[in-house]
Amino acid sequence: MKKPIAVLFLLISLISLNSFSQSKEEIITNSSAEEFNDLISARTDASVILDVRTSKEFESGHIENAVNIDYFSNDFENSLSKLDKSKTYFVYCKSGVRSGKASNMLNKLGFKKIYTLKGGIDNWSAKGFSVVK
């Protein structure tokens, strides 16, 4: 009787160790303004800078080449689902809250490489990085 229990325990232990050792690739990376700038400066056509603020906020100044999809729009999640999942996304908002939530949505929708800007565009501007209107 002890032998089957020991075998079962060993099997469960091996499965648990195997699952633990297979760490998932980090999908969402929170980046400082400096890191975010470096990343978008080196970006390729296989990436998108995504501003999730309102259109009014976007028009007041945004990161160059950013695409605007308003987090508060009724079809926000639907708009995200239409994006190319094979691309890398650099997501930001005003302070980092909406971009964090948007990045989690992207992750749930199957996107694999997402960078968020810590502190949002407020932090970006405070660090002296430029915005365009």
Tell me the residue range of the domain where 118 lies: 24-126
Q: What is the pLDDT of residue 19?
A: 39
- Is 47 in contact with 88 (CB distance < 8 Å)? yes
Instruction: Identify whether 78 is part of a domain.
Output: yes
- Catalytic residue check, 93: yes
Q: What is the pLDDT of residues 45-66, one digit of tens each?
A: 899 999 999 999 999 999 999 9
Per-residue pLDDT band for 92 (boundaries 50, 70, 90) equals very high
Instruction: Identify whether 13 is part of a domain.
Output: no
- Is 43 in contact with 115 (CB distance < 8 Å)? no
Instruction: Identify whether 2 is part of a domain.
Output: no
Instruction: Identify whether 81 is part of a domain.
Output: yes
Find the catalytic residue in 93, 106, 117, 121. 93
Q: What is the pLDDT of residues 6-22, one digit of tens each?
A: 444 444 444 443 433 33
Instruction: Identify whether 6 is part of a domain.
Output: no
Per-residue pLDDT band for 44 (boundaries 50, 70, 90) equals confident
Task: Point out which residues pair with 91 in neighbouring strands.
Answer: 50, 116
Residue 61 to residues 79, 106, 129, 132, Cα–Cα distance (Å): 22, 24, 12, 5
CATH code for the domain in which residue 104 is found = 3.40.250.10
Instruction: Identify whether 95 is part of a domain.
Output: yes
What mean pLDDT comes out for the span 33-46? 94
Number of domains in the chain: 1
Burial 17-41 (b: 16+ CB within 10 A, else e): eeeeeeeeeeebebbebeebbebbe
Instruction: Identify whether 75 is part of a domain.
Output: yes
